[in-house]
Amino acid sequence: MSYIEVNYPTDKKEFYEMLKEQLQLYIGEETNQTAILANVSSVIAQAFPEANWVGFYLVDGEELVLGPFQGKPAVSRIGYGCGVCGTALKEKHSQVVEEVSCFPGHIACDCNTHAEIVIPLLDKENGNIWGVLDMDSVIPGYFTEEDRIGLEQAVELL
Ligand code: SME
């Protein structure tokens, strides 16, 4: 399938409707988790030009391990309760961080990052977290509550 450039609307509701359509298009009938998460990280990165890192950390025992992503190389393992991702895992809810330097224990992967959002990925059958979607932006306060809600709905496609 060849990628067709899409122009995302500025209205957030319409933006997330289009994002979900695009994600569904690239998830399709695929069942391999690596292939799905690789394309999902790419589709989201295309939709958020101001995001400098978009990717997944997956639960591996007590900690998180790096999954498919778009952006600069990143830390491969994050402990339970550590950083923004490990906090999302521990608290079982999304984290919206306006300024990462103000987040206690933030793990810096790119010194240009200011804002971050982390969305837990929930098993539909038992509610357990099996990973997180992590996004960074160089723009302070970039991610909003609308993004949290939109992204939480988007990852339900996974
Ligand atoms: N900042 C994250 C670490 C991963 S990088 O942002 C890609 C954290 O504090 O958990």
**Does the beta carbon of 69 lie inside 6 Å of ligand 1?**
no
Distance 2 CA to ligand 1 centre (A): 31
Cα torsion for 119, 125, 128, 132, to the nearest 10°? Answer: -30
* % residues pLDDT > 70 (the chain): 100
Predicted local distance difference test score (pLDDT) of residue 46: 96
What pLDDT score does 39 carry? 97
Q: Give the residue, by CA position, lying nearest to ligand 1 atom 1.
A: 107
Q: pLDDT below 70 — which residues of the chain?
A: none
Between the CA of 135 and the centroid of ligand 1 the distance, in Å, is 8
Give pTM, 2 decimals: 0.96
Give me the pLDDT at residue 3, please. Answer: 79
Q: Provide the pLDDT for residue 134.
A: 98
User: 8 and 15 in contact (C-beta within 8 Å)?
Assistant: yes
